[in-house]
Amino acid sequence: MQDYSGTLRKYMPEAAAPIISRWINDTGCLFKIAKSRSTKLGDYRAPFRGAGHRISVNHDLNPFSFLITTIHEFAHLQTWQQFKHRVKPHGTEWKNNFKILMDPFLKLHIFPSEITLAVIKYLENPAASSCTDLNLFRTLKSFDKQSEQIFTVEMLSDKDHFRLKNGRIFQKQEKIRKRYKCLELRTNRMYLFSPIAEVDPIEINKKEL
């Protein structure tokens, strides 16, 4: 049995590393620390064509986000072992497994109190991603090491303009339930944005519109 704790401690709270190392060994999972991906924090792939379970987690997450994402993906693995493809990816079965797998980390008091409270609230009905639970996402985000200020859609005023990483420019409009309507200037089409979507605020001269 290989001990992965030394490597895992670089990315997650030290007390959690031996538990995750044991999970990797017990499941025979190929656990990969991946490059940053804007579309997802982690990923689980079921056995396919001779390959075993595969989990990847983005390397640049803060230790608590890294651990929660890891638990999330192992809940997928455990659900697949029990039900294969017969259940929904984030259905009741996955939610139950996520709660069970999270329990030892809560009992060990691995998380700071504010994250523990956010996790307990999140566990009432776990979502497909911690990013979709605004309270948990914001709490975890507060533990990031920021080299520069991060702006999100909810931080902007109505009618403010912002640019995405791909260069598309939008103007923030009104809030519809949990999301904000934003107008793309080039196409004049309206899109819905999560309040926590990271954006680059910009000033646009009226002559340019």
- For residues 52 and 70, membership in a common domain is answered with yes
The residues facing 175 across adjacent strands are 180
Give pLDDT tens digits for 77-119: 999 999 998 999 899 999 999 999 999 999 999 999 999 999 9
Give pLDDT tens digits for 108-139: 999 999 999 999 999 998 876 766 688 898 89
In whole angstroms, what is the distance from residue 52 CA to residue 33 CA?
Answer: 17
Residue where a domain stops, chosen among 97, 121, 141: 141
Instruction: Write out the residue range of the structural domain in which residue 102 sits.
Output: 5-141
- For residues 69 and 163, membership in a common domain is answered with no
Give pLDDT tens digits for 13-24: 999 999 999 999
- For residues 25 and 90, membership in a common domain is answered with yes
- pTM of the entire structure? 0.77
- For residues 135 and 105, membership in a common domain is answered with yes
- For residues 82 and 122, membership in a common domain is answered with yes
The residues facing 176 across adjacent strands are 179
- For residues 32 and 127, membership in a common domain is answered with yes
In whole angstroms, what is the distance from residue 20 CA to residue 12 CA?
Answer: 10
pLDDT at 207 over 60: no
Residue where a domain stops, chosen among 107, 141, 175: 141
- For residues 174 and 85, membership in a common domain is answered with no
- For residues 33 and 131, membership in a common domain is answered with yes
Which of 165, 138, 176, 155 lies closest to 62 in space, CA to CA?
138
- For residues 12 and 32, membership in a common domain is answered with yes
**Is 95 domain-assigned?**
yes
**Is 146 domain-assigned?**
no
